Amino acid sequence: MTNEEMVKNYSAEMIEKMVTDIISTAKVEVRFEFEDNEQWSVVSTFVDDEDKEISLRLHADDLFQLYVGYYDADDEFLEILQPLKEEEKKIIPKGLRKIMRKVLDDEEGMRVPGHLLGK
């Protein structure tokens, strides 16, 4: 199955797995990033054997996106961004949403214990 098919058809499962991984991590980095006029907070997990990054991004106006960055067979870096549906947003624990909002509002990243994000 391609990464595009995974994101399109199994985004909820990807988000659930990512959240499980994040809240079981000792320290989680929630970063602030920007490009041109866009700003977002982001939390990421990495699949080392596939050289893939899977992230949740929070933009202004409560817009969440699922991001997948990976290298294809030609070693070219590709990115997939998909806005989250309302039911997918509900998978994200309130603690994680609150910290991501704070990072975005303060324009400054944070390191927090993973177990606090699951509440």
Mean pLDDT of 92-109: 96
Q: Which residues contact 63 (CB under 8 A, 6 or more apart)?
A: 83
Q: How far apart are CA 5 and CA 85, in angstroms?
A: 16
pTM: 0.90
Give the tens place of pLDDT for each residue, 12-50.
Answer: 999 999 999 999 999 999 999 999 999 999 999 998 777
* Mean per-residue pLDDT over the chain, rounded: 93
3-state secondary structure of 110: strand
Cα separation of 100 and 109, whole Å? 9
With a cut of 90, say whether residue 112 has pLDDT above it. Answer: yes
- Segment 1-9 mean pLDDT: 89
